[in-house]
Chains A and B, each alone.
Chain A
């Protein structure tokens, strides 16, 4: 496989996952802003949501007020925002187009169909309930693409690059959501949160599509400790850091088996997994949640760098 092809597959998957995550973040920010309107329509939730998505600086450079319409437009449609759903879908499709011979027809049609439908949408028609509908649509198209991928592609090196891209991106996203609100998760004298805490916790769980699953796992009220545990250490939670790190490590392992040798990226993945596997929330809180999350994000980035070095991405 060409090194360029491997890179395109990795980024194709990353961008699809990122589009989905952007839609989920925007949905959360939008929901929260409905219940807590601020002066001039600006919303604190929208701002912290943009921080988690790492698009706040770009937004501030263009806009003065973070109201729902402006933020929604910036996150969905703005080509100047490299992480807008528009930019992600376009980047994903461009990558897919470059590697059409390396993906299946079903994957291509799903990707191309998503892009064509999305590019037909007129931004000014998308408000209120329509916005939520469109965000739902973005998530569904991402699911559809992943379904086409899992259902049709050969389990060879291309598959490993696609899967690694997907879970590196997801790990990054979960870590950033946690970091955005890490302070509301810190242990406090009282176990019971106030209304504001509950609202913040809901935001975090929803942003990781985890608010229902939480109940199934903990059979308990929302508690800061559990929420952190759920999104960091729970192996059965498909967006948790440990799950993603495990997934990345296994995929790179099978790549090493296929190619007959280990490279730097396998070491990087081992080191990512070592950070979360067998860790306890108590230890993480003691050493500092924020510091822990930053270390995780850094090691996760190192996986991408090592991957491009090991397999001649260009």
Chain B
């Protein structure tokens, strides 16, 4: 797949404009010189003023960066979206069924469809969750599915993010900014709204409150605090939902129930949308040195007096090594074929596959099983010979620590690059909510690799974002 021209989402190979992009193409042609550059400057100012920033770890305190925002939206046709969302819904249902099974009878392991060793020896497996009954049987309520496109009808799932996926505030604020910057462009298209997300998030959280709750459940968003890189998003979502934004010390457990410390005394909390990793949730159950969590929280959860969203231990279903089994998982629980494809993944513990991988490493992508954010990753075609050699050694030393995939030729979208418009590679993360029903917001976060030819879209590696439009019929 390496040498082929990537799929361009705006232009057909003959240079004509693809249907979903027609209005955008006309609008772009009408923009006077420098208009895009001016919009770009305005966008930066808007994001800074709103305080939509992320902290960069390792740099000075107070250096809050704005993720670059590209002023040209990415467009998905209605029929393309229908296909995608069906596939996503199938996937999240199967993964939740898988989690229920893993933490109960483990039928799928007994049936030998997923190797037992892969689950039970996995760091992401959470033995404390065994036998626990989460409300409505849902473990992963908030999911971001990373999807790439390589052709008109070819979509692949890169990763299922089932722990605490971030970035949804960018989906919402990118739309907000786009409407401020180019209202006339919206007049020409029928764009599905994304503004429903906070309301749907609230409905989802309410629907998984403990059964004992009468009336409107009391919802809290649990954040590690203002120095966390995603603090803006935590406060944004709490604000949009009308939920209380709490840090660990704001909560305490008494008699198996969770309370927040308010100006008028303790107030019971029913649902916690936590943006703290499993390990830090409760120093009495997980890492004892955690200052971020709430002592006794897990016991309150076990007792069914509070719902944690997402449940601890969901990482076992989005582990990179388990990923290869997702098509089997879908078949096992739903009796259906997977609607969305997985990226073919090579297993380096298999001698034949490893030999082939080591031979062809310059064409392949190598990822650390537990890595994220583009760290610990190598893209063969753009890496140096020295890096190829380094990763060959790493794989030979710890074959189980890496997964290897072909280099996908990600689709490109027109992107504003210093006054001009040029194609750049993109991916897509739609956001899915699972509670009493599955709710998928039409759109998502499009990440774009701003460097020419680059396939790495992570913001930590120089990626930007785009507003993502799903057109309505």
Contact = CB atoms under 8 A, between A and B. Distances in A.
A100 B261 contact: no
Interface residues of B, number: 25
Given A2-B250, A100-B235, A101-B239, A113 B263 contact: no
Contacts of B59: none
Contacts of B260: 2
Contacts of A108: 51
B50 interface: yes
A4 B239 CA distance: 16
A314 B249 CA distance: 9
Contact of A3 (B49, B235, B261): B261
B51 A4 contact: no
B262 A2 contact: yes
Interface in B277-334: none
B195 to A, nearest CB: 15
A94 B226 contact: yes
A109 B262 contact: no
A116 B63 CA distance: 11
A109 B264 contact: no
A6 B238 contact: no
A109 B239 contact: no
B449 to A, nearest CB: 28
B247 A4 contact: yes
Interface in A288-314: 311-312, 314
Nearest to B242: A101
A116 B235 contact: no
A2 B238 CA distance: 14
B48 A116 contact: yes
B378 interface: no
B244 interface: yes
B129 interface: no
Interface residues of A, number: 22
Contact of B226 (A98, A157, A259, A314): A98
A6 B263 contact: yes
B51 A2 contact: no
Contact of A312 (B49, B231, B236, B263): B263
Which among A2, A105, A116, A311 has the highest number of chain B CB atoms within 10 Å? A2
Interface string B194-226: 000000000000000000000000000000011
B263 A1 contact: yes
Contacts of A209: none
Which among A94, A97, A105, A119 has the highest number of chain B CB atoms within 10 Å? A97
A3 to B, nearest CB: 5
A259 B264 contact: yes
B229 to A, nearest CB: 14
> DSSP class of B's interface residues: helix, strand, loop or mixed?
mixed
> DSSP class of A's interface residues: helix, strand, loop or mixed?
helix
A112 interface: yes
Nearest to B231: A97
B246 interface: yes
B126 interface: no
Contacts of A113: 49
Which among A1, A6, A101 has the highest number of chain B CB atoms within 10 Å? A101
A310 to B, nearest CB: 8
Given A97-B231, A101-B238, A4 B261 contact: yes
Given A101-B235, A109-B49, A3 B263 contact: yes
A1 B235 contact: no
Contacts of B236: 100
B49 A311 contact: no
Interface string B20-58: 000000000000000000000000000011110000000
Contacts of A314: 249, 261
A259 B263 contact: yes
B245 interface: yes
Contacts of B239: 100-101
Contacts of A1: 262-263
Contacts of A2: 244, 246, 250, 260-263
Interface in A111-165: 112-113, 116, 119, 157
A312 B260 CA distance: 11
Contacts of B226: 94, 97-98
Which among B50, B51, B245, B262 has the highest number of chain A CB atoms within 10 Å? B51
A157 B264 CA distance: 11
Contacts of A112: 49-51
A101 B262 contact: no
A100 B264 CA distance: 21
A259 B265 CA distance: 11
Contacts of B246: 2
Contacts of A119: 62
B221 to A, nearest CB: 8
Nearest to A160: B263
Nearest to A97: B226
Nearest to A105: B50
Contacts of A4: 247, 249-250, 261
21 contacts: A3-B263, A4-B249, A4-B261, A97-B51, A97-B226, A98-B225, A100-B236, A100-B245, A101-B235, A101-B238, A101-B243, A105-B50, A108-B51, A109-B49, A109-B51, A112-B50, A116-B48, A311-B264, A312-B262, A312-B263, A312-B265
Given A1-B262, A157-B263, 20 more contacts: A2-B244, A2-B260, A2-B262, A3-B263, A4-B249, A4-B261, A6-B263, A97-B235, A98-B226, A100-B235, A101-B238, A101-B244, A109-B49, A109-B50, A113-B49, A259-B264, A311-B263, A312-B261, A312-B263, A314-B249
Q: Which 6 A-B pairs have the closest CB atoms?
A: A311-B263, A100-B235, A101-B239, A101-B245, A101-B238, A112-B51
